[in-house]
A and B are shown apart, each in its own frame.
Chain A
Amino acid sequence: MAIIEAKGLTYTYPFAEKPAFKNIDLKIEKGEFILLTGPSGCGKTTLCRCLNGLIPHFYGGKLEGELTVAGLKTTEHAIYEIARHVGLVFQNPENQLFALTVEKDVAFGLENLGVPRDEIRRRVDWALKITGIYELRDRAPFELSGGQQQRVAIASVLAMQPEIIVLDEPTSSLDPLSAKNILDVIHRLNKDLGITIILVEHRLDLASRYANRVIVMRDGQIVLDGEPRKVFLQRETKLIGVGIPKVVRLYLSLKENGVGLSKVPLSPEEASQLIAEALTFDRG
């Protein structure tokens, strides 16, 4: 059974004239790493908010259709119930951290759930170690860099041990090196812990190598859904205004000139390998 299933999902914000998205059908299996992308305003952020119940419970508005997440119908369960299964990491790291020390922030969710103290301590230490910030546990969030703050946000969601973690443009305010590091952490959550990841990102050059599936939205509709290598090749992707990675553009450009690499590269390392192959093959 799919861990996330949406049928005919339509949502209109309060006071809005038209829906943010209409008739979305979606099935996501456990363990997938979904890259959700599309131009600004396409509805991807709104979709994220539906996955943990913020829509409709926090935002109000009109939600039609059905959305089942980890076996729970989001309209029938409170946000705090869904939060045990779905963690949501937001764009701005600063506005997700409330406590005066890192470890207190990571503990926050568990405290809310009434988890016993020694269990909290265990899970907090575990989450801090996985995200690589154990040494920062006594620091104040204000003193940390953006990348470190975002790790704290991830750790605090991770501590609740959800099956699904949704991240809404977590790297947008980070410098490229921090962005890369964070994506690496997220990748490990998926690979090592089997957590289903839904990542909303514009930086496809950094993120697409980790995803097994890319979903492209436009104007409130899902227009493309499939393996990254296939989706990036479609003309529509470029037309929609999605920034496909330069290595894919190189692949396409070479193809137009009669040179076919054996597959679509999703990272510079892959691209170098494929190009080297193509050259030696040609020589041989």
Chain B
Amino acid sequence: MSIFDGLKFRNVSSPIHKIDPRAKFIYVCVLFVIAVLFNQLIPLIILFLIQIPLVAIARVRREWLRLIKGSIFFATLIFIMNIISLYFYGNYPSFAYIIEHSLAMTFRFIVLIESFSLFFLTTSPDMLGLSLEQIGVPYEFCFAFTTAIRFVPVLAEEAQTIIDAQRARGLELEGGNFIRRVKNYIPILIPLIVNAIRRSLELAEAMESRAWGASKKRTNIYVLKMGGRDYLFILLSLVMLLLSLYVWMHVKIPYLTQILQM
């Protein structure tokens, strides 16, 4: 579960938290483009390092670290797979280059995770739903989105209660062959699903009772307004993008291996 901690909103106050989700989203997209643009290790390491001060400003160091720790498994997998495929099919002068390229791919993965994590850690689902609304996504979807998030902890707790209740009736969840294990989850899944359906009916009743559908033009108690800080952030992201494009087009980026061998 530690990976998911890195993607769950953390409710503190920081300059990054205050930035409009739409501005942050642009940042994530820019980072994505740049990360895909470069194949070389050095720029990707730079990208990785650039984000670290942002993580510190956002006061989400602990969760972010947990995410990085959790993604080591996949990172290693990517690293190894790259090495293997390059060894057999690659075209590199020496093994050092293979390692460098594989490291680069690993860092690309980590950079992407890093930026997503920063986004989700500093954007409340409420604000996210609101920004979706304001860019024109139909309200029904935004509502479904935020309501789903609202109920995740509730459902998780309920699942645990159901597991406890069935264990108290002698249900064993460990041991036994594969088929038996799957069968043993039926007494857990059925109440979970039935209760989820019951719950959504109750929710629907409550929604209707609070005038759902009364007006085509829904108003909102909150509104997201882009301010100076947000435009500045977008500007910086775009500058980073332009700079990277320039470098990519005009600068020949050395391999770390080359530098080390010198």
A/B: CB atoms within 8 Å of each other: yes
- A124 CA to B220 CA, complexed, in Å: 12
Most buried by B among A94, A100, A115, A157: A100
Given contacts A99-B150, A142-B153, contact A113 B221 (CB under 8 A): no
Given contacts A100-B149, A124-B221, contact A95 B210 (CB under 8 A): no
> Interface residue tally of chain A, by bracket?
35 or more
Q: Is there contact, CB below 8 Å, between B208 and A54?
A: yes
- For the A-B complex, the count of residue pairs with Cβ-Cβ distances under 8 Å equals 108
Question: Residue B206 at the A interface, CB < 8 A?
Answer: yes
Interface size class of B (residues with CB under 8 A): 20 to 34
A74 adjacent to chain B (CB < 8 Å): no
Q: Which chain B positions have C-beta within 8 A of A84?
A: 211, 214
Cβ of A146 under 8 Å from chain B: no
The segment from B61-69, B101-109, B196-204, B249-257 that touches chain A is: B196-204
CB < 8 Å neighbour of A80 from B143, B146, B213: B213
Q: How far is the CA of A248 from the CA of B44 in the complex (A)?
A: 79
Q: Which residues of B contact A185 (CB under 8 A)?
A: none
Q: CB-defined interface of A84-122 with B at 8 Å, one 1/0 digit per residue?
A: 100110101011111111011001111111111100110
Q: CB within 8 A of A95: which of B126, B149, B199?
A: B199
B209 within 8 Å of A (CB atoms): yes
- Chain B residues near A92 (CB-CB < 8 A): 202
Say yes or no: A157 contacts B210, CB within 8 Å. Answer: yes
A278 at interface, CB cutoff 8 A: no
**Residues on the A chain within 8 Å of B203, using CB:** 95-96, 98
Once A112-B212, A112-B215 are accepted as A-B contacts, the answer to whether A117 and B147 lie under 8 Å apart by CB is no
Q: A95-B202, A100-B126, A104-B221 are in contact. Are A88 and B209 (CB under 8 A)?
A: yes
Q: Which residues of A contact B217 (CB under 8 A)?
A: 114
Contact partner, A117, options B124, B143, B209, B221, Cβ 8 Å: B221
In the bound assembly, the distance between CA atoms of A80 and B214 in angstroms comes to 5
Is A114 touching B219 in the complex (CB atoms < 8 A)?
A: yes
Q: How far is the CA of A160 from the CA of B212 in the complex (A)?
A: 12
Task: Judge if B172 is at the interface, Cβ distance under 8 Å.
Answer: no
B154 at the interface (CB under 8 A from A): yes
**Structural contact, B206 and A112, CB atoms closer than 8 A:** no
Interface residues of A in 105-145 (CB under 8 A from B): 107-117, 120-121, 124, 140-142
Complex: how many Å from CA A80 to CA B203?
15
9 contacts between A and B (CB under 8 A): A78-B213, A79-B211, A80-B214, A96-B206, A100-B124, A112-B213, A113-B211, A113-B214, A114-B219
In addition to A79-B211, A99-B150, 6 A-B residue pairs with Cβ atoms within 8 Å of each other are A58-B208, A96-B202, A111-B219, A140-B150, A142-B153, A142-B154
